């Protein structure tokens, strides 16, 4: 593991840069100015740039979100999300055995994913599986009763976003669908995970950009971004100002955290910058 000052230190090493979104490019608000400059630098150097996000939304939805944050569409090749990964699996028939009646956990009462995957909404007593795409009730504790009933019925859970938490513009953390899925798994329930660090999404990413010779994954989550890079046998750049920032003070603290998550970044830097 090696500290770098910015992308200039590694720019000649890699042809493809796989970027996380939250914690790297923005925290739900405006894009970080340093990140915009870094994206422009990568474009000037003719690097392939793809955004790989653990978002339950589609990559197409992310285009608008990124534009609103201040990131121009011409600064990256494409976006691939864990939501895309999940939709692909439904459409390919992987979850045919689960049926079509979903107990749906979502954000902001958005049920468009049901139409995307040819599903129908059901309550916990009549659902054939649980579809976890959001946490609009508040926190994990607000889902425990439903999860207990689902577990008693032996329902399996499909989660579109495996993140446990995400950064907020304020610097705080919000609960993400992965926290609900983890609670269900801890109950003994079967969970189908999507996005990082699953190996399949890196294969999808490779195909999306037309292949790479040497890629580096950039992210702030040891559990997802760095673990995913390790599993995909590609290099990684750990952003220390993200979700783990409160537990990081020096290189030893990064090594200790990495040991805790059983991963190892190739490089680390405080912010995504040129």
Tens digits of residue pLDDT in 74-102: 999 999 999 999 999 999 999 999 999 99
More confident residue, 167 or 248: 248
- Report d(CA 84, CA 79) in Å as an integer: 9
* pLDDT tens digit sequence for 198-252: 999 999 999 999 999 999 999 999 999 999 999 999 999 999 999 999 999 999 9
Q: What is the dotted CATH code of the domain comprising 2-84+196-269?
A: 3.40.50.1000
What is the pLDDT, as a whole number, of residue 171? 78
Q: Peptide bond before 197: cis, by omega within 30 degrees of 0?
A: yes
Q: Which residue has the tokens 């019925």?
A: 153
CA nearest 161: which of 189, 127, 207, 201?
201
Inform me whether the pLDDT recorded for 23 exceeds 80. Answer: yes
More confident residue, 60 or 42: 42
**Weakest-pLDDT range from 12-16, 59-63, 67-71, 143-147:** 59-63
Domain 95-192 is classified in which CATH homologous superfamily? Answer: HAD superfamily/HAD-like (3.40.50.1000)
In 3D, which of 108, 104, 126, 134 has the Cα closest to residue 117? 104
- The answer, yes or no, to whether residue 20 has pLDDT greater than 90, is yes
- Contact (Cβ atoms closer than 8 angstroms) between residue 70 and residue 39: no
Average pLDDT over residues 52-63: 93
Dist. CA 249–CA 255, nearest whole Å: 11
Confidence (pLDDT) at 170: 82
Matching fold, domains 2-84+196-269 and 95-192: yes
User: How many Cβ atoms sit within 10 Å of the Cβ of residue 42?
Assistant: 21
> Would you say the C-alpha torsion 141, 117, 88, 23 has a positive or negative sign?
negative
Domain ranges (residues) in the chain: 2-84+196-269, 95-192
pLDDT of amino acid 168: 80
pLDDT value at residue 230: 98
pLDDT > 90? residue 172: no
- Alpha carbons 192 and 167: distance in angstroms, whole number: 24
Nearest-angstrom CA–CA distance, 34 and 40: 10
Of 266 and 22, more confident: 266
- What are the pLDDT digits (tens) for 35-46? 999 999 999 999
CA 81 – CA 245 distance, rounded (Å): 24
| Cα-Cα-Cα-Cα dihedral sign, residues 65, 70, 71, 72 | positive
For the cut 80, the answer to whether the pLDDT of residue 167 exceeds it is no
For 102-159, the pLDDT digits (tens) are 999 999 999 999 999 999 999 999 999 999 999 999 899 999 999 999 999 999 999 9
pLDDT (average), residues 1-19: 98
Q: How far apart are the first and last CA of the chain?
A: 19
């Amino acid at each position: 593991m090696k500290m770098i000052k910015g992308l200039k230190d590694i720019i000649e090493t890699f042809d493809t840069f796989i970027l996380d979104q939250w914690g790297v490019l923005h925290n739900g608000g405006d894009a970080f100015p340093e990140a915009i400059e870094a994206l422009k630098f990568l474009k000037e150097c003719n690097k392939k740039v793809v955004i790989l996000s653990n978002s339950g939304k589609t990559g197409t939805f992310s285009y608008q979100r990124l534009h609103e944050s201040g990131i121009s569409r011409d600064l990256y090749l494409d976006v691939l999300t864990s939501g895309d990964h999940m939709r692909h699996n439904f459409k390919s028939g992987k979850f045919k055995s689960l049926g079509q009646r979903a107990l749906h956990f979502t954000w902001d009462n958005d049920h468009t994913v049901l139409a995307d995957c040819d599903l129908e909404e059901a309550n916990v007593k009549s659902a054939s599986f649980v579809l976890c795409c959001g946490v609009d009730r508040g926190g994990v504790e607000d889902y425990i009763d439903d999860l207990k009933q689902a577990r008693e019925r032996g329902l399996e859970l499909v989660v579109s976003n495996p993140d446990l938490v995400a950064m907020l513009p304020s610097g705080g953390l919000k609960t993400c669908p992965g926290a609900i899925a983890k609670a269900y798994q801890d109950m003994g329930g079967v969970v189908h995970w999507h996005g990082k660090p699953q190996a399949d999404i890196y294969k999808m990413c490779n195909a999306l950009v037309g292949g790479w010779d040497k890629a580096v994954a950039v992210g702030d989550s040891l559990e997802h971004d760095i673990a995913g890079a390790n599993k995909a046998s590609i290099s990684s750049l750990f952003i220390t100002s993200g979700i783990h920032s409160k537990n990081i003070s020096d290189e030893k603290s990064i090594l200790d955290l990495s040991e805790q998550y059983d991963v190892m970044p190739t490089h680390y830097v405080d912010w995504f910058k040129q």
